[in-house]
A and B are shown apart, each in its own frame.
Chain A
C-alpha cells in the first residue's frame, strides 16, 4: 500500500519527479548524502560503539548481531516482495510464529525428522501465501484486510492443536495422551551452530536468500514484471503480463520466507513457544521501510531491507552494551524508522 495510484505518484508535476538541477552542485551533494546516509550513519555507529566499548567490535559480537537480525531480515525480504507489487502482507509475523509451533509440533507430536519438518513448514508458509492470494487476487479482498484476517486466523489456529500450551518434549495433548516425539537433534543446528565455527548458520541462510532475492527482484524479467505490477497494474496487464500469477507468486514467496524465519526461531529456542514472534511483524516491516532510504531509492528493495535490519541490530546491540535499558528498544526502533522515512521522503524534496 505504499506508493500507489500511478495517476498520482506519476504526475509530471510531482515534486519528486521534477528533479530540479538549477544548482547542480548543491543538488548533487544533497542527492549523494541522501543515497549514502544510511551507510554513513552505520559507519558512525560502528566507530562510536567501538570506541566506547572495545568488546563491540569483535568478530564474535558482530556475528551475534547478524544472527540476531537474520530472522527479521529474511521475513523483511518477503515483505519487500509484497511491497514491490504495491501491496502489504500483514500476516508474515503470524506465519513465522505459527511456523515455530508447526515445526515443534511436526517433530514432537508427529515424530517427523528434521528434513521432513523443514519441507512441511515451508510448504505451510507457502500455502498461507496461496490462501492470501486467493482472498486478494481471486476474491478481490483488499490486501491489508485480507492479510490482517489471515494474521488473526493463524494467531488463533496455532493454539488449537495443543490447547494453547507451548510445545516441548513430553507435551500432554488435549486428548490426555503424552506426545512421544522429540526435537530432532539435527534440526537444532539450523539455529545454533556456525560455519567454520564463526559464521552462524542463520547468517548463512540470510545471506544466501538475500542474494537470490536481490537477483530475482532487480536483475530478472520476473523482477521487472513484479515491480511493473506494483507500479501500474493496468499497464502491466496491457503489456501482456499475467498480474494475477505475479501477485500469487509474491504472496507465496512472502509466506515461505516467513516460515523460514519461523524455522530458524524454532531451531534456536528448541521448542514451540506460544509467545515467540511477537514483534516479528513490526520489526520486519520496519526493516523493509528503512530499506527505502538505503541508496536513496525511495522504494522497496531487498538489499535495503537487509541493511535496514542490520542497522537496527547494530544500534540495539551497541546501546545494550552501553547499558541502555531493555525497555527502550522499541522506542529506538521507532525513532530509527521515523528518521529513515524523513530521510527518504523529506530530504531533497522540491517545493510544490
Chain B
C-alpha cells in the first residue's frame, strides 16, 4: 500500500512503470493531445479526468497501439514504448478496454467463445476445439475474475453492460501489468459497478497498475489513488489523496460546476401522459404512472429492471402486455416508432452505435445528417434535400449543447464519445415534442456538459422528459422526480415525491 504514497513523488523516488512525456497528436487542425504528461506506478489506480473531447481516449489509443503520437515519448519500464498494434501492446503487458464495447464483439460468437478469443489466436488453446472444453476454460477464466456472465448466449444478443463485462473479463485473461479502462462503468448499474470496484481493488493489491477513465465521480471516489486532469489535450491538474474532486472538476471544465437551474420550483403542469394498469410483460405487475408537462422524471433500477423496456414501449417498439395509455387525454397506442414520433413522443435510445449512428464512411454519418434523419419529412417537404437547412440546425445544436466539433458536416466518428452522445440528444432536441424519452442519455457525457444539457432540455416548456439511468446519483442530479423500476414494475410511484438532494452537491457542501 506504499505505492499510493510513493506516487506522490513519482519522479524522484522510483522509475514509474509507465511514464508519458509531453505527448502530442493532432487530427487536422484539432489538437487532441497537446504535450500531455502522466506517470503510473505498479499497484496504483490513476484516474484520468477530462471533459468530453479533452483527449483521454486519444491518449488511451496511443498507449494501446491503435494510434501513433506526433511527438513526445512513452516510457514503459524505462524503455521507449510505441506499440505498433493492440496485440503488440498486449504482449508488452498493456491491456485496454476501449470506450466502445462494440470493438471487441463478433456478434455470432457465444460469450464463451468471445472470452476465449485471445487464447484461440495466440495458441494457448488447442487447434481442435470442442464446445465443452471452450466452455470449461471460459468458466475457469470467469471464476478468476469474479464476473458472472451467461456463457452460452450469443454475444450479439447481450446488452451493453454484459458486453462491457465480457470486454473487461477478456482483458483480465491476458497477463496484464497495466490495465486501461476507458469508461468501463458507463453502462453499468451501481450494483455492477460495486462488483467491478471490488475486482479492481483486488487486482491492484496484486500489483496491477490501472489507468481509469470515467465521468462518474462515484467511481473515482471509490477507486482513485491519484487524479490527473486533462483539458484541451494538456494535463492541467494533478491531485493526490485526499482528492479534492471539486477542484478537479473545476480544473476539468475550466469553471466551477454550474448550479442547476431551480428545478421542481414551478408547479408541475397539466398531466400529459397517463399509464393505467400498465403491464410491460405478460407476467409483470401492472402499475400506474402520470407524467406532467414541464417535468423531468428519472427512472432508475438495476440492469434488466425494465427501464429500456418501459421507454421502448412508450415509443411504440413493444406493445403493452395489458393496460392502456393516454397522451394529453387521448388514447395512445403507437404501433411503431413512426406513429409515436407523429404523436410527439420521441426517444433517444441507449447504445448510440446500435440505435442511432450510421457506420463511418456511409451516407448519413455527418453530424448534420445524424440530427436530421427523423426530421427529413418536415424539413424537406418537397422531398429534395438542401443540406443548408440541416447544417444550420446542426450548427445551432453544436452551439446549444456545446458539442466539440469542427463543423456541422464533420463525421460523428471524428467526435469524442461524449460529443457523439450529445449529437444523439441534439437530434431529438431539434424539433418540438411532447414527450422526450432518454435512455441512458448521459453515457460518457461529462458532468459539466450534463448540466448544460439538462438546462437546455428544461428551456423547452410544455414537454415532459423521462430519463432512464442506471446511475442513482445521476437520477437525483437531473430529475424533479425519481422512480425506481424493479422487475418491470414501478416501485415508488408516489407523485410529487421530493427529490433527494444531489449526492454530488451535498458532498460539495460538506467539503
Interface residue ranges, A against B (CB under 8 Å): 3, 5-14, 16-18, 20-22, 24, 219-225, 227-228, 230-232, 234-242, 298-299, 351-352
Contacts and interface: CB of A to CB of B under 8 A. Distances in A.
B123 to A, nearest CB: 22
Given A7-B105, A16-B360, A221 B353 contact: no
Contacts of B356: 232, 235, 238-239
Given A21-B28, A237-B337, A240-B337, A221 B357 contact: no
B385 A219 contact: yes
20 contacts: A6-B358, A10-B359, A10-B360, A13-B103, A17-B361, A220-B383, A220-B384, A220-B385, A224-B369, A224-B373, A231-B364, A232-B359, A235-B358, A238-B355, A239-B356, A240-B338, A241-B338, A352-B66, A352-B85, A352-B86
Interface in B4-34: 26-28
B72 interface: no
Given A219-B384, A227-B363, A235 B26 contact: no
Interface stretch (B193-201, B323-331, B374-382): B374-382
Q: Which 7 A-B pairs have the closest CB atoms?
A: A17-B360, A9-B359, A10-B359, A227-B363, A231-B358, A239-B374, A231-B362
Given A22-B70, A238-B337, A238-B347, A11 B103 contact: yes
B359 A231 contact: yes
Contacts of B373: 224-225, 228, 235-236, 239, 241
A7 B337 contact: no
A24 B28 contact: yes
A7 B103 CA distance: 7
Contacts of B68: 22
Contacts of A222: 383
A6 B370 CA distance: 14
Contacts of B70: 22
Contacts of B103: 11-13
Interface residues of B, number: 55
B354 A13 contact: no
A13 B369 contact: no
Contacts of B413: 10, 12, 14, 17-18
Contacts of B347: 238
A325 B358 CA distance: 46
Given A224-B373, A238-B349, A241-B338, A16 B361 contact: yes
A298 B360 CA distance: 11
B357 A6 contact: yes
Contacts of B385: 219-221, 223-224
B376 to A, nearest CB: 4
Contacts of B362: 3, 9-10, 227, 230-231, 299
A235 B357 contact: yes
Interface string B294-322: 00000000000000000000010100000
A307 B312 CA distance: 44
A240 B349 CA distance: 13
A221 B384 CA distance: 6
A230 B358 CA distance: 9
A241 B364 CA distance: 14
A224 B360 contact: no
A227 B360 contact: no
Nearest to B413: A17
Of residues B85, B156, B337, B363, which shows the largest number of chain A Cβ atoms within 10 Å of its Cβ? B363
A17 B357 CA distance: 13
Contact of B102 (A11, A225, A235, A352): A11
A17 to B, nearest CB: 3
Contacts of A223: 363, 385
Contacts of A8: 102
A237 to B, nearest CB: 6
B107 interface: yes
Nearest to A237: B337
B164 to A, nearest CB: 14
Contacts of B100: 11-13
Given A10-B353, A17-B413, A21-B28, A221 B376 contact: yes
A238 B27 CA distance: 32
Nearest to A227: B363
B359 A224 contact: no
B369 A6 contact: no
B435 to A, nearest CB: 14
B337 A21 contact: no
A148 to B, nearest CB: 21
Contacts of B107: 5, 7
Given A228-B373, A240-B337, A351-B84, A10 B28 contact: no
A132 B309 CA distance: 33
Contacts of B361: 3, 9, 16-17, 298-299
Contacts of A20: 67
A234 B355 contact: yes
A352 B98 CA distance: 14
